[in-house]
């Protein structure tokens, strides 16, 4: 059973930074794609950033040049560095992983951007 556990969320002021981390219960090497999604109250879940096994990345237009996703196969983690955060980015951030036809989600971590 694959488990994904997010950490690093919390309150932050506008313009501030947070570093989220997704820790997998096993090796992430077999996951073809890992990603971060977010869901704000009353809105649909949306893709924030993704990364493949060969380190190709994809970002939502709204976070390009501010967020950075990476993967550490040795530590089985997928960090998301978030800079210049905006109040509208308040949401629950979820880790996602795909292995073949199977998909896995973490429980999410709350990020609140407010002064």
Parallel/antiparallel/unpaired status of strands 46-52 and 33-39: antiparallel
Q: What is the pLDDT of residue 30?
A: 84
Task: Give the tokens for residue 40.
Answer: 């704000």
Confidence grade of residue 27 (pLDDT, cut at 50, 70, 90): confident
Confidence grade of residue 92 (pLDDT, cut at 50, 70, 90): very high
Confidence grade of residue 66 (pLDDT, cut at 50, 70, 90): very high
Q: What is the pLDDT of residue 1?
A: 81
Q: What is the pLDDT of residue 29?
A: 81
């Amino acid at each position: 059973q694959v488990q994904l556990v997010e950490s690093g969320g919390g309150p932050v002021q506008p313009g501030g930074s947070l570093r989220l981390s997704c820790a997998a219960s096993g090796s992430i090497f077999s996951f073809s794609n890992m990603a971060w999604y977010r869901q704000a109250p009353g809105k649909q879940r949306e893709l924030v950033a993704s990364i493949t096994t060969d380190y190709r990345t994809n970002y939502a237009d709204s976070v390009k040049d501010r967020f950075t996703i990476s993967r550490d196969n040795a530590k089985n983690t997928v960090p998301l560095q978030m800079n210049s955060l905006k109040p509208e980015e308040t949401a629950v951030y979820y880790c996602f992983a795909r292995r073949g036809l199977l998909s896995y989600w973490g429980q999410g971590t709350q990020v609140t951007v407010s002064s």
